[in-house]
A and B are shown apart, each in its own frame.
Chain A
Amino acid sequence: MKKNVYFGLYLVIALLAVLPFVVPNSFYLDLVIRMAINAVIVLGLNLLIGFAGQISLGHAGFLGIGAYASAVLPTHFGWHPLVAMGAGAAATGLLAALVARPIFKLKGHYLAMATLGLGIIISIALRNEAQWTGGPDGMPVPTMGLFGFDLSSDKQWYWVVALLLSISVWASLNLIDSPFGRALRALHGSEVASQVVGVDVVRYKVAIFVLSAVFASLMGSVTAHYVGFVSPNFADFFHSIELVTMVVIGGMASVYGSLVGAVLLTALPQALATFEGWETVVFGAILMGSMIFLPKGLVPTLASKFGKGE
């Protein structure tokens, strides 16, 4: 049955505990941290796309709000970074909730268009409010202080991000196998059937949209502090697409697929650097190939091949 679902979580935790001691140098540690950050965002996005069956092409916008909240509020107003992070998440949640109601009256292509537009609006706003955000040049982000000591070294950040990732995997697994998660999957499977058993579908779609947006915002803040710099590229449309691609390649409606998708697509551009100038072409070819041969995504395809279930 589903007992061994948490086994994967222990594996992830074990891997995260060992990794910093085996990575050869700081370049790889940086790569691992960025993989883990992306993995958390993709987990949230997969709840929305894979489990609830709703698309968002504007999630980088939410990431941008979080990142810029962490840059602007401490720099211009002297807020504590943690408070700024919370404020960014709260603002993102509020914005997501406000726009979600009308947006989720839409379906399919229209939903994709609406979220796409939302992401682009956020991106343009960040680019144009140059007196606050530094415009297209971006701006530096103050260091994150936690309980009196500064989070600055990559090692410290690694442990923070590893903890966040472990909690996110655990929470996602819990959520999916709960009444809330079943309602989400049911409205994906048959909207009318979920309605007649009492699921308020719009409310559930809004809730999961807000949750995944807040995930993105929080990780936007984390990225901003970790990198020490934000630029409008954070909120860029192409970044939104990249996140959706991670969901699809790893596997829709698969927690561990989210991790695999994030890890692969974060590493791939680095691995392809040897192709010099042609790497985008190779990247695109790999994406096309995996969609043709693994349309359900890596993890679900492999899982069904080895007959284990998810």
Chain B
Amino acid sequence: MPSQPPLPPLLTPYLSSHPDSSLTLVTSILGATSNWLILRFLHSSLASLWAPNPSFGLDESNNGTKKKVVLISFLRGWHFWRTEAKRLGLDLARLADKKQFAFIDGLSDLFNTAQGSRSPANPTPARPGIPQRTTLPVRGPPGAVPARGPPTAQIPSAGAPEGTTDKGVAQTLSFSGRGVAALDALENEILAVIAQLKISAEDGEEILLVIDQPDFLLAATGPSMDIGATEMAEWITGLQQNVHATVITLAADSPLIHNASTSGIQGSTPIEGEHAAFAIGLAHRARSVMQLRTLETGAATDVSGVLRISRGGGWSSGPEDNLDEKELLYYIQRDGGVRVFGRGES
């Protein structure tokens, strides 16, 4: 099979155009994850800056607006995003150095604060060749990024998994306390990163904010910690105000969406009710909704899943905004390339 272009031609218009203050919602389910699509979003926004020859191929369509991207991931680590982006030909670590990209880690330390197991993001260049697990006495003084949380002198090896360094991680989120105050603290940490990118932004450079699965934050806290769908939606709005456009991924498995509406025997638990309210609320605000799901007819060897693109509740019907609704099939090849095609085509 011939190698695929990093951006499937059919998807390019959806990936690259983000009107001002628009929200794009990407929903995924257990068997059809959204990571590949997020990587395409990153690529369409960042590749033209990074590619040595901008006039090459599909990147042309993107030359008009320059973009910076902030990625917040709650379920995947920096290592995953970096290696997968590399398969697409996107060097996120280098882009982070050039302040075109910032990664906010919502995985490693989110609920770990008591342990303080991770040393704060250390901007001193790490040496990738040398495994840092060996006992290093004291590293250089902490640089620009201020240390948060309790000091972690006792475990020098903690934050350095093999082949992964903290280089490139702009911020590591940690959740403490409860309710709106805790969310506000997270928001401030994120806004600080956005502000850093804004300082270096040239004229006309826009910031795209990608939040990967903020719904986990809601599920893992919930009403018993005074966080509900309303608070989360407000939190998202607060972040949206500071960036040009936003892409959010959510889980949309049927137990999480449909249990809330059925007045069945078992009723719905708070986790289901809040999730449904949060997801549906966001869909009403979104300009477009991209749903990923598996084939209803069972798995196939040449189709990974179905991608349905539809207008969301926030779609403006003005002449400047044209968005075709479509349902497409996609197939992830073993080399990471993606083929997107209509039903019946191949």
- A in complex with B: no
